[in-house]
Amino acid sequence: MNQHAAISDIAPPPLQTEAFARVDHWIFDLDNTLYSHESRVWPQVNERITLFMRELFGLDGMSSSALREYYYHRYGTTLNGLMVEHQIDPDVFLDFAHDIDLTLLEPDPALGAAIAALPGRKLILTNGSVGHARNIAGKLGILQHFEDIFDIVAAGFVPKPERATYETFLAKHSVDPGRAAMFEDIEKNLIVPSALGMKTVLIIPRTPDPFREVWEQSAIEAGHVHFVTDDLAGFLTPLATAG
């Protein structure tokens, strides 16, 4: 059984660069993985999704928020639920949801240097859109380090953690999972990557994120979670010479 705890309660496995010695494909989730919650990116996306549903269904804010959560838990993403049950235009939804203010998102030169130094290919695998990923990575100053972005559209609107999404991604980019590492902020999204043979790293916030549930930001002790870190740049830096 998975055990949920704060990072101070469960020490992550010792960082062993030899564990990544064969890795030459570095795969990163986007939201809450490549940036910290202090930038208030994800809360804005949730607010925009809630507003979209208020306008679509004529609901109050609390009811719209509850419905958003219901679709998220049942279908993997709110978008997937809206497409299945209401046949909405996904492009309209994504454009609306990702129309946010990135003022608080600052460049991260340390992360950029760490990603640039990794041996091999770097890719983003996100349940968001390419446009959103480009905006975020561009503001962080790391976009140029990635070969490509695989988004929810490329996945045929089938979200992580569905196995088909990872298989489609691997096939499109000719990735050998035995030579790949996956970095994610949601533990369940690492189950399939681990089963496929990837090294997995769970990213948790350094300080509690008041806009997310506790289980979404806890260090987790599980067989499919190989490493846990609250400092992505610091974790990556020693791996530059691992491959």
For 15, list phi and psi in degrees, rounded to 5: -70, 115
At 153, phi and psi to the nearest 5? -70, -45
Residue with tokens 């340390």: 110
pLDDT of residue 229: 94
Query: What is the pLDDT, as a whole number, of residue 34?
Result: 98
pLDDT of residue 134: 98
Residue 163 pLDDT: 97
H/E segment holding residue 92: helix 90-97
Q: Which has more pLDDT, 154 or 208?
A: 154
- The two domains 3-39+106-241 and 41-97 share their CATH topology (first three levels equal): no
Reduce the DSSP state of residue 1 to 3 states and report it: coil
From 135, 192, 120, select the one nearest 162 (Cα to Cα). Answer: 192
CATH number of 41-97: 1.10.150.450
Amino acid identity at 130: V
Six-digit token string for 12: 């992550």
Give the distance between the most distant pair of CA atoms in the chain. Answer: 55
Backbone angles phi, psi at 220, to 5 degrees: -125, 130
- Burial class for 63, CB neighbours closer than 10 Å (0-12, 13-18, 19+): middle
pLDDT above 90: residue 16: no
Model confidence at 219, pLDDT cuts 50, 70, 90, reads: confident
Bridge partners (DSSP) listed for residue 28: 124, 183
Q: What is the mean pLDDT of residues 158-163?
A: 95
Length reported for the chain: 243
Q: What percent of the chain has pLDDT over 70?
A: 92
Residue 208 pLDDT greater than 70, yes or no: yes
pLDDT digits (tens, 9 = 90+) for 125-151: 999 999 999 999 999 999 999 999 999
Residue among 30, 34, 22 nearest 181 (CA): 22
Mean pLDDT of 29-45: 94
What pLDDT, in 10s, does the model give residues 41-55? Answer: 999 999 999 999 999
What would the pLDDT profile of 189-200 be if each residue is shown by its tens digit? 999 999 999 999
Residue spans per domain, the chain = 3-39+106-241, 41-97
Does the 3-39+106-241 domain belong in CATH 3.40.50.1000?
yes
Three-state DSSP class for residue 219: strand
